[in-house]
Amino acid sequence: MVVVVAYLALMMTIGLLARGKDPSKKDYYLAGRRLPYWVIAFSMNATGESAWLLLGLSGLGYVVGVQAFWVVIGETIGIWLSWSLVAKRLNAVARASDAVTLPDVLADRLGDPLQLVRILSVLIILVMVAVYVAAQMLATGKAFETFLGWPYVAGVVVGGVVTVTYTSFGGFRGVAYTDTAQALLMLFAVTAVPVAGLVAIGGLTGLSESLSALDPTLLAPIGGSSADLVAILSIASALAIGLPFLGVPQLLVRYIATRDAAEISKARNISVTVIFLLGFGAVSTGLVGRALYPGLADGETIMPTLSEELFPPFVTGLLVAAVLSAVMSTVSSLLNLASSAVVSDLYHKFFSPSADSRAVARLGVWVTAVLGVLGCVIALNQQGLIFNFVLFAWAGLGAAFGPVILCVLRWPRTTWQGALAGMIGGFGITVVWISVFKTRFYDLYEMIPGFIGGLLITVVVSLLTAPREALRRREGDARRGASEVR
């Protein structure tokens, strides 16, 4: 308890100290575009992984065995593609237009006269953030309940109050620096727990023998003796979990906030390495947990179970803090994203365009706090698997924004009509696939049809709507943007 309280106090302190004196909108939502590469890298990973890493992914490793490593491979490839294909160009484009949010970038590049792309972007962000925050706060309740024996409601409230406080007052700078501390704690957890588990079970040989005795398929990379259709689709779904890294707004804003494009390569190397280590450690935790405690009713409690059984109370407290870090790092980024959508993309653009930038930032503090309270309320009325909740929100955001972002940054013929149709199509296909088709296609991950459909729709509609004058202008913009990146 002492360790957990100290951790919560530290996060509050970092967040509150990060706030400058009367910050502008750009300071509040982008940390003034002055964040160094190592902060961006660790913040990217802490936000991208969330509670699903320590609870959800370790739980998946517990249930399906080494097949869960396909998710790790997919995430590693996905984040590498994001840094390589999106980061530098998005940073250059955002600086050229002085954009603060991802909808700002889209609106500026596409020249949408009706601002429909911006409005749709905000709506999708708010809907998916509500689902995402519910999943994270659900994990907070689980962590306090499993580790400390607190009621689920108390865990949600305590975790929510701390996160909302430092996010509201610290803004994006507070989010990024607390993310960095939280990512380091998460790395500690996914290293210490599987190593201690291996020692307890007698090393890799003991692990292999135990898992083989329980269920030989736990050691099969494709879940069986032959590469049948079900196994192939399962692997494809796992690999596709990395695709949303190309488009989820709460991650892409970090590219916008990087202080210069030259720092992006250094950040990419750290980020790709760390995400592989985090994923590998989480799955390994599930594997050793299955060998040591094979009878758990809920696989997503394996990390808390191992932490309590294998370590003294002080270390267990650090591991509780690591689980809370996974939750809080993502919740803080989601709240900052939702707040920027409401305050910058709606209020400042449509209702009060002449408002002072510092006044807008002050409003952002209160909007962030209100959104955080609403997230807690949603979480108090939600139950379910963290893994499934997060995958749905992850896919919804990735399918809506990923194809459009790639086209806007790398294909000059993209039009605002194409982007609008692509966002509607990607998001809509994702929802329909989950509701109607997923169970009929061996649970194929909704990101695959959503991303492909969104990309095709964006391209086809853009080809049908691109006027020649706009095409020439956009090609000129693209050449200038490429020169800036080089």
Residue-wise pLDDT tens digits, 326-384: 778 888 888 888 889 889 888 888 888 888 888 888 888 888 888 888 877 777 775 55
- The rounded distance, in Å, linking the Cα atoms of 21 and 105 is 27
* 357: in domain: yes
pLDDT at 134 over 70: yes
The mean pLDDT value for 139-158 works out to: 79
Q: Which residue has the tokens 């736990």?
A: 218
For every residue of 28-66, which 3-state class applies, written as one string?
HHHHHHCECHHHHHHHHHHHHHCHHHHHHHHHHHHHHHH
316 DSSP assignment: H
219 against 21, higher pLDDT: 219
pLDDT at 482 over 60: no
Threshold 0.75, pTM exceeds? yes
pLDDT at 469 over 50: no
Tens of pLDDT along 263-300? Answer: 898 999 999 999 999 999 999 999 999 999 998 888 88
* 105: in domain: yes
Give the residue among 263, 315, 265, 307 at the shortest CA–CA distance from 289: 307
- The rounded distance, in Å, linking the Cα atoms of 220 and 274 is 26
pLDDT at site 357: 82
Residue ranges making up the domain that contains 25: 2-383
Do 315 and 334 meet the contact criterion of CB atoms below 8 Å apart? no
For the record, the structure tokens of 468 come out as 């020649």
pLDDT at 31 over 80: yes
- We report the CATH number of the domain holding residue 314 as 1.20.1730.10
163 against 422, higher pLDDT: 422
**Number of domains observed in the structure of the chain:** 1
pLDDT at site 293: 93
Distances (CA, A) of 188 to 133, 325, 362: 24, 11, 36
Estimate the crossing angle of helix 302-310 against helix 264-292, to 10 degrees: 70
pLDDT at 391 over 80: no
In terms of Cβ atoms closer than 10 Å to its own Cβ (0-12, 13-18, 19+), residue 298 is middle
* 443: in domain: no
Residue type, 264: I
The mean pLDDT value for 191-215 works out to: 92
224 against 405, higher pLDDT: 405
The pLDDT-based confidence of 472 (bands split at 50, 70, 90) is: low
- Residue 35 — φ and ψ, nearest 5°? -80, 135
pLDDT at 170 over 90: no
319 against 461, higher pLDDT: 461
- Residue 355 — φ and ψ, nearest 5°? -65, 145
Cα three-residue angle 306-308-313, rounded to 5 degrees: 140
- The rounded distance, in Å, linking the Cα atoms of 485 and 276 is 27
* 406: in domain: no
- The rounded distance, in Å, linking the Cα atoms of 386 and 260 is 36
Q: What percent of the chain has pLDDT over 90?
A: 37
Burial 222-252 (b: 16+ CB within 10 A, else e): bbeeeeeeebebbbebbbbbbbbbbbbbbbb
Tens of pLDDT along 404-441? Answer: 999 999 998 899 999 999 999 999 999 899 888 888 88
- The rounded distance, in Å, linking the Cα atoms of 303 and 286 is 8
Which contacts (CB < 8 Å, 24+ apart) does range 229-237 have? 229/442, 230/442, 233/441, 233/442, 233/443, 233/444, 234/67, 234/70, 234/442, 234/443, 235/67, 235/70, 236/444, 236/445, 236/448, 237/443, 237/444, 237/445, 237/448
Mean pLDDT of the chain: 85
Separation of CA 33 from chain center: 20
* 402: in domain: no
Residue type, 263: E
452 against 321, higher pLDDT: 452
The pLDDT-based confidence of 388 (bands split at 50, 70, 90) is: low
Residue type, 115: Q
Cα three-residue angle 36-109-89, rounded to 5 degrees: 35
Separation of CA 297 from chain center: 27
- Residue 258 — φ and ψ, nearest 5°? -60, 140
* 473: in domain: no
pLDDT at 451 over 60: yes
Do 278 and 45 meet the contact criterion of CB atoms below 8 Å apart? yes
Estimate the crossing angle of helix 152-201 against helix 37-49, to 10 degrees: 100
Q: What percent of the chain has pLDDT over 70?
A: 92
Tens of pLDDT along 44-72? Answer: 998 888 767 888 899 999 998 999 999 99
- The rounded distance, in Å, linking the Cα atoms of 326 and 186 is 7
Beta bridge partners of 258: 35
The mean pLDDT value for 240-267 works out to: 89
